[in-house]
Amino acid sequence: MTAAAGTGGVELAGVHARYEDVDVLLGVDLSVAPGELLVVLGPSGAGKSTLLRVIAGLEPAVRGQVRIAGRDVTRLRPGRRDVSMVFQSYALFPHLTVADNIAFGLTVRDTPKGEIGERVRRAAEAVGCAALLGRRPAQLSGGERQRVALARALVREPDVFLLDEPLSNLDAELRVETRAELRALHDRVGATMLHVTHDQTEALVLGDRVAVLREGRVEQLGTPEEIWRTPATVFVARFVGSPSMNLLPADGPLPVPGIAAKPDLLIGVRPEAVRLGDPTQAGPGHADAAATGVVQRVEMVGEDAYVYLRLDGHVIAARVPYASRPDVGAETPLVVRPEDVHLFDAKTERRAATP
């Protein structure tokens, strides 16, 4: 592919959108840098697919502005926006060969045949499906169909690539493999990509930055590390992480040294930061937060285990080595370091400053 492919940025300013009588996007502000891979992460119904469709021109923006490569495209029809979209369903023509599927967008634009052949070859080679050009979609696996869909998007060399959950129909092993290939493809062609997913691992692995979407609004925009280490809201803290971050009232069963036990504060602790064992062995000065819980259940996850403990009506999850897991029903001390604690305002559910 050419170095110019996918080098236009995207800007959304105050974008509102409706589906039938429902407000789906509620004033989205978002900027995607040229050549960036931005992942839009959120649960079903958050407005992720609608966001892509508004950028592509498949759905209108009721209010606000959409700019692609510096152009205001808010009122332009899809064909004039210079974007390519990859759908979850692949959307391949069953009666056409792989080569003709990839070439379709060029053919309808009356691109010269010699140029079409060369661009199809380059696109197919870029995604690893050059050996499939003579086949039809029915003869392909799910992963192969996804490669063809990506090649069809690439061949147009648009300003922006829009990927609507393109990996969700693949099995777990193939999804991991294709995810890595997609990231490598982006890095090779320098493309501007918006990738929509509900899979948090996919978002953190793929994205240069991640926009967490909730009910039509951007909850947080940042690098994967920022999303993980400094979640801006309770929603982001709960949505990103498996198991999700433990959230307890600051005046609850896990008092943290140096943090006031105020009823208007929530403390958050990731399961990876919860240590099980004798609190007197916690560390220098024994200043860590300590409590005792009763093990409710244990889940094996390879070499690790998720241990769920009940503390005075609250449940807290810990991730520990499976070999050292406690038994169900056991009373087990747990320890948390103050530096591993996140604080949130209980009313606004936004991140609070550390006292």
Element (H, E) at 335: strand 331-336
Which of 117-131, 151-165, 273-287, 299-313 has the least mean pLDDT? Answer: 273-287
Q: Is 171's pLDDT higher than 90?
A: no
Q: Is 91's pLDDT higher than 90?
A: no
Q: What percent of the chain stands above pLDDT 70? A: 95
Residue in this structure with the two tokens 């959409």, named with its chain if needed: 66
Give 130's DSSP letter.
G
- Integer Cα distance of 254 and 338 in angstroms: 11
User: Rg of the chain over CA atoms, in angstroms?
Assistant: 24
Residue in this structure with the two tokens 């502005």, named with its chain if needed: 65
Name which of 200, 194, 231, 207 is nearest 85 in CA terms.
194
10-236 fold: Rossmann fold (3.40.50)
CB 9 within 8 A of CB 192: yes
- Integer Cα distance of 292 and 312 in angstroms: 10
**pLDDT value for 88:** 76
pTM over 0.75: yes
First-last CA distance in the chain: 52
Q: Tens digits of per-residue pLDDT, 21-30? A: 899 999 999 9
**pLDDT value for 355:** 58
Q: Is 282's pLDDT higher than 60?
A: no
**pLDDT value for 162:** 94
**pLDDT value for 90:** 76
Q: Is 179's pLDDT higher than 90?
A: no
The residues spanned by each domain of the chain are 10-236, 243-345
Cis status of the peptide bond prior to 279, with omega within 30 of 0: no
Which long-range contacts link 168-177 to residues 24+ away (Cβ below 8 Å)? 168/88, 168/197, 168/198, 168/199, 169/88, 169/89, 169/90, 169/142, 170/142, 170/143, 170/146, 171/142, 174/142, 174/143, 175/202, 177/143
Q: DSSP labels for 7-75? A: ---EEEEEEEEEETTEEEEEEEEEEE-TT-EEEEE--TTSSHHHHHHHHHTSS--SEEEEEETTEE-TT
Angle (nearest 5°) at CA 203 between 308 and 144: 115
CATH number for the domain running over 243-345: 2.40.50.140
DSSP lists the bridge partners of residue 86 as 163
DSSP lists the bridge partners of residue 275 as 335
Pairing of strands 160-164, 193-197: parallel
CB 266 within 8 A of CB 234: yes
Q: What percent of the chain stands above pLDDT 90? A: 66
Instruction: At 6, give phi and psi (nearest 5°).
Output: 70, 30
**pLDDT value for 4:** 43
Q: Is 285's pLDDT higher than 50?
A: no
User: How many CB atoms neighbour CB 251 within 10 A?
Assistant: 13
Q: What is the mean pLDDT of residues 258-287?
A: 78
pLDDT confidence band for 280 (50 / 70 / 90): low
- Integer Cα distance of 45 and 49 in angstroms: 9
Q: What is the mean pLDDT of residues 233-260?
A: 92
- Interhelix angle 142-154/113-127, rounded to 10 degrees, is 130
**pLDDT value for 279:** 58
Q: What is the mean pLDDT of residues 47-63?
A: 96
Instruction: At 69, give phi and psi (nearest 5°).
Output: 50, 40
**pLDDT value for 354:** 67
Q: What is the mean pLDDT of residues 33-50?
A: 96
